[in-house]
């Protein structure tokens, strides 16, 4: 059983959802629905799950934590879809009131994940995937290692995947542009150790290509 499909846009990883085979298909369908709501034409949630799993492996996360992380990655923005705000899909910068409203989506996402019966570990990763290393993230203003490692991994994975994926209102950034952003915001938004591990994986991918680390143009 594979969490991710074999394609040129995602890296196939051995599924650790084998204990939930019956629910895996539903989670993938929900992930695709969220991708569509946000304007992604390729399997965005699945790609984030693949990138996150590369990082989780580098940090030797336990199987249970990898399980929680992959589940959370697949539907991390379920709160945005649940809120169903028009401004999420419009090609313009958000005004202050919209930005503040959108900051509710991790908590709403945690609640939606609870309704789905996901493990508490996955719920909390969804809640905390917008926390920043320097404590200026949301919703709880966690700082440094107060943020669970899995959530720190998802922060980097989500950012890289979002920057290098094309959307209806903007072109994809190149892989180099996205890596430069991660480096510049390391120690501010991102855990420096996670960024370092990501860059090491990206460097390795230059000799052993991993499509999941390449920019997506369609």
CATH number at residue 22: 1.10.3210.10
**Rounded distance between C-alpha atoms, residue 90 and residue 130, angstroms:** 21
**pTM listed for this prediction:** 0.86
User: Which pLDDT belongs to residue 208?
Assistant: 54
Strand-pairing partners, residue 190, are 186
Residue 4 lies in a domain: no
Q: In the chain, which stretches have pLDDT less than 70? A: 1-23, 206-218
What pLDDT, in 10s, does the model give residues 155-175?
Answer: 999 999 999 998 877 889 999
Determine the structural domain holding residue 66 and report its residue range: 18-213
12 within domain boundaries: no
Please indicate, yes or no, if residue 80 is contained in any of the structural domains.
yes
> Does residue 161 sit within a domain?
yes
For residue 167, the SS3 value is strand
At 166 the pLDDT is 87
- Domain-located, residue 218: no
- 60 in any annotated domain: yes
**C-alpha distance from residue 26 to each of 12, 21, 41, 88 (Å):** 19, 10, 19, 24
Q: What is the rounded distance in angstroms from the CA atom of residue 123 to the CA atom of residue 120?
A: 5
pLDDT at 206: 63
Q: Is residue 7 part of a domain?
A: no
For 196-210, the pLDDT digits (tens) are 999 999 888 765 545
Domains identified in the chain, total number? 1
How far is C-alpha 37 from the chain's CA centre? 15
Quote the pLDDT of residue 23. Answer: 64
Alpha carbons 165 and 32: distance in angstroms, whole number: 15
Q: Which is nearest to 154 in space by CA: 55, 14, 44?
A: 55
Q: Tell me how crowded residue 215 is: count the other CB atoms within 10 A of its CB.
A: 17
In a domain, 130, yes or no: yes
């Amino acid at each position: 059983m594979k969490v991710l499909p074999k394609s040129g846009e995602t890296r196939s990883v051995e599924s650790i959802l084998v204990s939930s085979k019956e629910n895996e298909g539903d989670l993938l369908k929900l992930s695709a629905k969220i991708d569509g709501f946000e304007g992604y034409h390729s399997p965005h949630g699945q790609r984030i799950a693949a990138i996150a799993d590369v990082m989780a492996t580098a940090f030797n996360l336990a199987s249970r934590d990898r399980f929680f992380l992959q589940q959370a990655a697949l539907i991390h923005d379920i709160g945005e879809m649940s809120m169903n705000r028009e401004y999420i899909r419009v090609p313009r910068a958000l005004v202050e009131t919209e930005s503040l409203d959108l900051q509710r989506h991790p908590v709403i996402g945690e609640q939606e994940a609870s309704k789905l019966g996901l493990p508490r570990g996955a719920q909390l990763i969804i809640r905390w995937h917008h926390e920043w290393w320097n404590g200026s993230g949301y919703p709880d203003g966690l700082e440094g290692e107060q943020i669970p490692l899995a959530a720190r991994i998802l922060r980097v994975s989500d950012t890289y995947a979002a920057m290098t994926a094309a959307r209806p209102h903007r072109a994809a950034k190149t892989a180099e542009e996205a890596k430069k952003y991660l480096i510049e915001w390391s120690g501010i938004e991102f855990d420096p150790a996670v960024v370092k591990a990501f860059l090491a994986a990206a460097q390795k991918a230059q000799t052993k290509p991993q499509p999941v680390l390449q920019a997506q143009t369609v």
